[in-house]
Amino acid sequence: MTSDTTVRICFVCLGNICRSPLAEGVFTDLLKQEGLEDRILVDSAGTGNWHVGARADARMQATARSRGIELQSIAQQFEPGDFKHYDLVLAMDQSNHDSLEHMGSGRLADGKLRMFRSFDPQHNGDLNVPDPYYGGDQGFENVFEIVHRTCPQILDHIKREYL
């Protein structure tokens, strides 16, 4: 691809109020640090529709804010036709991946759909970002640690493969 390519990525979890908004916020912060926010467009969505229109969960916002990151996303549901808008769709867990694969009906999702933690150097064979919604604060901290160490690896991948 040429040097003026724009790459579009979307992080996807279940509700789009915890894990994928954090990934969007952390990744956007990285892009700003590197001056790449015009080259890589970041979005997030949920496979479910329960929280459409909502800001990120207050607990996820608080965890992010304590690390200097403001979560700006408004929850939206991923639709099958959205695959054509994105170059890379990153599922936060296997269940999200299965839902997306189903929606993508094979060819649409082909080559675009990946597990977020497949880029985590410390995944140790577990590719799920654990859903923190029904747990305590430690779950949100754990999600932050996973997302924070994985986003730079995803950015490196995009630089290598897409820009």
Q: Which residues within the stretch 97-136 sit at the binding site for ligand 4NP (CB under 6 A)?
A: 131, 133
**What is the Cα–Cα distance from 111 to 126, expressed in whole angstroms?**
21
Q: Does 13 bind ligand 4NP (CB under 6 A)?
A: yes
**Contact status: 16 vs ligand 4NP (CB under 6 A):** yes
State in angstroms the smallest separation of the CB of 16 from ligand 4NP.
5
No. of H helices and E strands in the chain? 4, 4
State the minimum distance, in angstroms, from the CB of residue 19 to ligand 4NP.
3
* 2, burial (CB in 10 Å: exposed 0-12, middle 13-18, buried 19+): exposed
Catalytic residue among 18, 19, 57, 82: 19
Closest among 93, 95, 113 to 105, alpha carbons compared: 113
137 classed as catalytic = no
Contact residues for ligand 4NP, defined by CB under 6 A:
13-19, 46, 50, 131, 133
